Chains A and B, each alone.
Chain A
C-alpha cells in the first residue's frame, strides 16, 4: 500500500518499524494451529491437483474388469471401483474438477458480488434500496431447484455449472460488501480524505478497498467450500459431471450404491471431500479471527 518512497537511510534518527494490521493478522494466524494445518493441506491438495496428469498412477477411464472392486492394496492404494478403475486416480481427477469449479465459480461470485455490493453501498439512497431489494428477492428463490432446472434445460455442461453456481453465490457476497462499504463510508478517515481533497476514485482505491479487503478474503475462503458442496450435490444427483469423468460428488454417489459390499468406495471420497471442506472452513474462520480488529492489540 505504501506508495511513497522513503529515503533509504535517515542519518538523524533511527526509525521504529511499526507492524501493520496485515502483519499482526499474519502473526495471529500463524498461532492458530488448525488454520495453519488447513492451509498446508489445501496447498498440498492444490499442488496434487495441478500435477495430476503427470503423477496420476493410472488412467482415470481405462476399465479393468478383472480388478473389479478390489480392496486397498500396494498397487492400488485406495482400491479400485466396480469397473476396475483406480480410485486414487479418479479421486485426483475428481479433485481437479471440484477445485476448479470451486475457484472459478467463486471468482464469478466475487466479481458480481463485490461490484454490486460496493456500488450499492457507495452510492446509497434509492439506488441502494433498489439494488438490495433485488438481492432480497433473489434470496427468496429456491436456488438448488433453479440450478437443477438450468442443467436440465441447457444440458450438463461444465461451463454452465460454473456460471450457475457463481450466479447464486454472489448474493451473500454482495450483502457483506455493501455492509462493509456502508460502515467504512461513515468512518471519519474517509471524511478526512475528502477534506484533504482526494478524488472519489483515490478514496476508493487508497482507503476503501484496503480496509474492505479483509472481509472479502475471509468470505471468499468461506464461499469456496459451499460451491464445492453445491457441485458435489449436483453430481451426486447425476446432474453434474458425466462419466467417465469424475468429481468427488459423483464418486460418492457411486460409492453409496455399493457401500454395503465395498465401503471404501464411499469412505475415501467422502473423507477427502469432508476434509477439504473442513480445511477451507477452518482457514476462513482463522482468517476472520486474525483480521478482526476487535482482537487486535490495543
Chain B
C-alpha cells in the first residue's frame, strides 16, 4: 500500500533570465510505514520536490508544470489552498534543517506546539497543553512540564530539533517530511536524532520522507532510497543493493566520495617536529546579556593544549562546535591572541615575534578557511588575490607575477583563463581552489586548514581533498586539518587529535584511534559516525 504516490512531477522556476527546470518529470512511491530517503546535492531538486507537496514553494517564481501526488485518495496538487491547509501539519508534518531558525524566537515552545494542535483540532487550551507536554516527553524532553514555557533560545541545538519533532508529531500525522534534519547538528547529536526518528517511525507506523545530502546518514534507517541529480531521479532501490551495486555513475560517484577507508600510511614523515604547541591558553572575555544585566564571561576556548606535528604529516583536529578547535588553529596563526604558552615553528616561538618579524615569518604558515564565499575579497580578481601575497613577500615582481600566478592556477586545477574573474563568478569548489592557491602561493611549510571542505557538496569535497593530498605530498607540507567530519578526517589524516571543551583529550594514529579509542569522549564521538557497513 503506498502512502504517497508522485507521478511525473515537473517543477520550474521563472525569472528574468528565463525558465529553469528544478524537477524534471520524476515519479516515486512511498510505502506506508516506511522511510524513503531522497539523496542529492544542492540544486538536485530534492527539497523543492517535497516543499511542492504541501504547496510551500513560492509561486511565482516557482510553477508546478505537471504531475500528480496521490495521498489518501486526493491529488495534493489539485487541492485549493484552503483544502491544503487541512493537510499541512495535520496529515503531513514537516521538520526542517535548522532548528535554530525554524522555531519562532518570539513565542514559547509550548505556545508553538499548542498552536499547531489547535489549528486542526477543537481541543481546550488545557488539553492541548497536556498533549504538547506528552509529545515533548515522547521525544526525550523529560522535564517537559517545567520547560514548556521556555523560549527557543533557552534550548540547545539538539533539544530544539527534538522540539521541532514533537511539534510535528503532536497532531498525529500520517506522513512526516524531514528536510535535512541533522545537517546543522553535531555528530553525536545527529546520531541521537536519527535514532529518535527511527524509534518514532516504528512506534507510530509513520511514513517518512527523509531528505539528505549524506548517504551515510540515511542508509541505516531508510527502507527505500532515491538518488536525485539535477532534477532527475538517477537511481532508486533498497539501501543494501544500492550500496553494494550502484548502477548509475552519479551514485557510484556519491558512494566513492564517502571516505570509508583510512589513508595509506606512508612513513614519509620524519621524527623531526615542524610545529610544536606547548601549554597554549586562549581565553575570550565576553560580556553577554542585555546591558543592564551584563555578565562578564570568561571562556577558556583553548585550555592548556600541547601538540606537535612532524614534518610532512597531516594531523586531524576533531571536535564538536564550541570545542575550541578553530580557536586553536587561529591562535597558532596568531589571528587571535593567545594568553600564554608557546607556538614553535622550527624552533622559533611565534608568540614572541614583533610585528615586522611576524610579517616575514608568516611566509611559513598559511591558512585555508571554511567558507569559500567569505574568504575571498569579492572586489578583487583572482589575479589580484593571488598577486597580493606574492608581491608582498617579494616572491615575484611585476614582470614575472603573471607567470607565477599561471603556475599556481595549474597546480590547483583552475583554468588559466579565469585569472581576471571575480569570486562571485565561480562555484564553491572553484573558489576553494582559489583560496588554496593563495595559501600555497608563499610555499609555506605549515598549512592550517579550518574545515576546508565542509561547505562543499560531497562530490566536490572529495576532489578538493584529493587536491590537498597531492599538494601536501608535492611540497612536503605539514598540515593541521580541522574538521567536525570524522570520515573526511580518516580519509586524509595520518594522526588525529580529539578536542573537547578547549582541551586535547586524545591524540593517536588515525587507524589506531578509529579502531580503538581510549578516552570515553573519543569513543562516544566515533560511535556516532554514520557508517556504511
Nearest chain A CB to B244 CB, angstrom units: 38
Q: Mark A1-35, 1 if CB is under 8 A from B, else 0.
A: 11111110010111111111110100000000000
Residues of the A chain whose Cβ atoms lie less than 8 Å from the Cβ of B435: 192
Q: Are B377 and A297 in contact (CB under 8 A)?
A: no
Q: Mark B370-399, 1 if CB is under 8 A from A, else 0.
A: 110011111111111001110111000011
Q: Mark A109-141, 1 if CB is under 8 A from B, else 0.
A: 000000000000000000000000000000000
- For chain B, residues 379 to 431, give those with C-beta under 8 angstroms from any C-beta of chain A: 379-384, 387-389, 391-393, 398-399, 401-402, 406, 416-422, 424-425
Segment at the A interface, from B28-36, B138-146, B221-229, B356-364: B356-364
Task: Tell me, yes or no, whether B333 is within 8 Å of chain A by CB.
Answer: yes
- For chain A, residues 81 to 108, give those with C-beta under 8 angstroms from any C-beta of chain B: none
Q: Are B379 and A18 in contact (CB under 8 A)?
A: no
- CA A10 to CA B335, docked complex, whole Å: 38
Residues of the B chain whose Cβ atoms lie less than 8 Å from the Cβ of A24: 424
> What is the interface of chain B mostly: helix, strand, loop, or mixed?
helix
Task: Tell me, yes or no, whether B366 is within 8 Å of chain A by CB.
Answer: yes
Q: Mark A33-56, 1 if CB is under 8 A from B, else 0.
A: 000000000000000000000000
Segment at the B interface, from A194-202, A219-227, A260-268, A273-281: A194-202
Q: Given that A16-B421, A20-B422 are known contacts, is A207 also in contact with B335, CB under 8 Å in the complex? A: no
Given contacts A2-B383, A7-B402, 11 further A-B contacts (CB under 8 A): A1-B379, A17-B420, A18-B425, A24-B424, A187-B374, A189-B374, A189-B375, A192-B438, A197-B362, A207-B377, A210-B379
Q: Are A21 and B384 in contact (CB under 8 A)?
A: no
Q: Given that A16-B417, A17-B420 are known contacts, is A194 also in contact with B335, CB under 8 Å in the complex? A: yes
- CA A16 to CA B421, docked complex, whole Å: 7
- CA A52 to CA B482, docked complex, whole Å: 66
- Pairs across A and B, CB under 8 Å, 28 listed: A1-B380, A2-B383, A3-B384, A4-B401, A12-B406, A15-B420, A16-B418, A16-B421, A17-B420, A18-B382, A18-B425, A19-B425, A20-B379, A22-B379, A188-B371, A191-B330, A191-B367, A192-B369, A192-B375, A192-B435, A193-B377, A193-B388, A195-B335, A196-B366, A197-B358, A197-B360, A199-B355, A298-B424
- For chain B, residues 303 to 340, give those with C-beta under 8 angstroms from any C-beta of chain A: 330, 333, 335
- CA A123 to CA B292, docked complex, whole Å: 23
Q: Are A4 and B374 in contact (CB under 8 A)?
A: no
The chain B residues found within 8 Å of chain A, CB to CB, are 330, 333, 335, 355, 358-360, 362-363, 366-367, 369-371, 374-384, 387-389, 391-393, 398-399, 401-402, 406, 416-422, 424-425, 435, 438, 442
Q: Are B371 and A15 in contact (CB under 8 A)?
A: no
Task: Tell me, yes or no, whether A59 is within 8 Å of chain B by CB.
Answer: no
Of the candidates B362, B387, B402, the one whose C-beta lies within 8 Å of that of A195 is: B362
Q: Given that A187-B374, A195-B362 are known contacts, is A16 also in contact with B420, CB under 8 Å in the complex? A: yes
- CA A251 to CA B355, docked complex, whole Å: 61
- CA A193 to CA B380, docked complex, whole Å: 12
Q: Are A1 and B384 in contact (CB under 8 A)?
A: yes
Nearest chain A CB to B282 CB, angstrom units: 15
- The closest CB in chain A to the CB of B359 belongs to A197
Residues of the A chain whose Cβ atoms lie less than 8 Å from the Cβ of B384: 1-4
Nearest chain B CB to A63 CB, angstrom units: 56
Task: Tell me, yes or no, whether A296 is within 8 Å of chain B by CB.
Answer: yes
Q: Are B393 and A197 in contact (CB under 8 A)?
A: yes
- The closest CB in chain B to the CB of A211 belongs to B379
Q: Given that A1-B380, A192-B367, A195-B366 are known contacts, is A297 also in contact with B424, CB under 8 Å in the complex? A: yes
Nearest chain B CB to A107 CB, angstrom units: 24
Of the candidates A15, A191, A193, the one whose C-beta lies within 8 Å of that of B417 is: A15
- CA A2 to CA B381, docked complex, whole Å: 8
Q: Are B393 and A6 in contact (CB under 8 A)?
A: no
Q: Are A188 and B369 in contact (CB under 8 A)?
A: yes
- The closest CB in chain B to the CB of A195 belongs to B367
Q: Are B367 and A13 in contact (CB under 8 A)?
A: no
Task: Tell me, yes or no, whether A271 is within 8 Å of chain B by CB.
Answer: no
- CA A32 to CA B250, docked complex, whole Å: 43
Q: Are A197 and B381 in contact (CB under 8 A)?
A: no
Residue of A13, A18, A199, A206 with most partner-chain B CB within 10 A: A18
Q: Are A19 and B398 in contact (CB under 8 A)?
A: no
Residues of the A chain whose Cβ atoms lie less than 8 Å from the Cβ of B421: 16, 18
Task: Tell me, yes or no, whether A293 is within 8 Å of chain B by CB.
Answer: yes
Q: Given that A1-B384, A191-B335 are known contacts, is A6 also in contact with B359, CB under 8 Å in the complex? A: no
Q: Given that A7-B402, A297-B424 are known contacts, is A195 also in contact with B359, CB under 8 Å in the complex? A: no
Which 5 pairs between the two chains have the least Cβ-Cβ distance? A18-B421, A188-B375, A197-B362, A197-B359, A188-B369
Q: Mark A217-261, 1 if CB is under 8 A from B, else 0.
A: 000000000000000000000000000000000000000000000
- CA A6 to CA B435, docked complex, whole Å: 21
Q: Are A196 and B379 in contact (CB under 8 A)?
A: no
Residues of the B chain whose Cβ atoms lie less than 8 Å from the Cβ of A298: 424
Nearest chain A CB to B47 CB, angstrom units: 17
Q: Given that A14-B417, A188-B375, A207-B377 are known contacts, is A4 also in contact with B383, CB under 8 Å in the complex? A: yes
Q: Are A20 and B371 in contact (CB under 8 A)?
A: no
- The closest CB in chain A to the CB of B358 belongs to A197
Residues of the B chain whose Cβ atoms lie less than 8 Å from the Cβ of A207: 377
Nearest chain B CB to A208 CB, angstrom units: 10
Residues of the A chain whose Cβ atoms lie less than 8 Å from the Cβ of B333: 195
Q: Mark A274-298, 1 if CB is under 8 A from B, else 0.
A: 0000000000000000000100111
- CA A6 to CA B406, docked complex, whole Å: 12
Q: Are A188 and B420 in contact (CB under 8 A)?
A: no
Residues of the A chain whose Cβ atoms lie less than 8 Å from the Cβ of B417: 13-16
- CA A173 to CA B367, docked complex, whole Å: 35
Q: Given that A16-B421, A19-B425 are known contacts, is A4 also in contact with B380, CB under 8 Å in the complex? A: no
- The closest CB in chain B to the CB of A214 belongs to B379
Nearest chain A CB to B408 CB, angstrom units: 14
Residues of the A chain whose Cβ atoms lie less than 8 Å from the Cβ of B379: 1, 20-22, 210-211
Nearest chain B CB to A3 CB, angstrom units: 8
Residues of the B chain whose Cβ atoms lie less than 8 Å from the Cβ of A206: 388
Nearest chain A CB to B51 CB, angstrom units: 20
Residues of the A chain whose Cβ atoms lie less than 8 Å from the Cβ of B363: 197
- CA A297 to CA B422, docked complex, whole Å: 12
Residues of the A chain whose Cβ atoms lie less than 8 Å from the Cβ of B388: 193, 196, 198, 206
- CA A2 to CA B402, docked complex, whole Å: 14
Q: Given that A16-B417, A189-B375, A191-B369 are known contacts, is A5 also in contact with B424, CB under 8 Å in the complex? A: no
Q: Given that A20-B381, A211-B379 are known contacts, is A4 also in contact with B391, CB under 8 Å in the complex? A: yes
- CA A5 to CA B398, docked complex, whole Å: 7
- The closest CB in chain B to the CB of A17 belongs to B420
Nearest chain A CB to B79 CB, angstrom units: 33
- CA A207 to CA B423, docked complex, whole Å: 14
Residues of the A chain whose Cβ atoms lie less than 8 Å from the Cβ of B377: 189, 193, 207, 210-211
